[in-house]
Amino acid sequence: MAQVKLVNYDEASTEVRAVFDDIMTTRDTDYINNIWRALASNPAVLKRFWGQMKDVMVKPSRLDPLTKELIYLAVSINNNCDYCINSHTFAARKHGLDDEMLAELTEVIALANAGNRLTIGLQVEPDERFKPKHADKSWSVEKVASTSKTKTVRSRNK
């Protein structure tokens, strides 16, 4: 059971209804998921999170919708978020995810977690060849003495 009241459309404020309407229009549905109904308990959070969701997950970009859903699903599995795992598996299936792909994705997640833990535990430094070649200079603000007063010289990362 949610820790906050799930807001229904008929009891929502004008601000919440506007977000609910946008969700339904964007997703071409008449259904509002429970997460949005829970977030409606704080309209500013609802509006902000929906805006981020639209900007990242809905807006066309170099990543196709299935890839975005698989990344979201991988993070959800890693964070053990049951709601998100179910929601984003459902969404990924609409973009072509099948059982075999889900099993393979889960295997990659498990392998990455194991590799990360081994590397962290052994405190292995990254190979030089893996590091960016454009390493920036560290930010610094140096004080330089002048004849009458101290002046500040600022250097920027380039």
Domain coordinates in residue numbering, the chain:
1-59, 62-126
Confidence at residue 69, expressed as pLDDT on a 0 to 100 scale: 98
The whole-chain average pLDDT of the chain stands at 92
Q: CA 143 to CA 158: how far, in whole Å? A: 20
Indicate if the pLDDT at residue 6 is higher than 80.
yes
Same fold, 1-59 and 62-126: yes
DSSP 129: G
1-59 — its CATH code?
1.20.1290.10
CATH class of 62-126: mainly alpha
Q: Which of 25-39, 106-120, 122-136, 141-155 is the least confident region?
A: 141-155
User: For 116-125, what is each residue's pLDDT tens digit?
Assistant: 999 999 999 9
Confidence at residue 147, expressed as pLDDT on a 0 to 100 scale: 59
Count Cβ atoms below 10 Å from residue 15 Cβ, excluding itself: 13
Q: Which of 30-34, 51-55, 108-112, 132-136 is the least confident region?
A: 132-136
Taking the alpha carbons at both ends of the chain, their separation in whole angstroms is 51
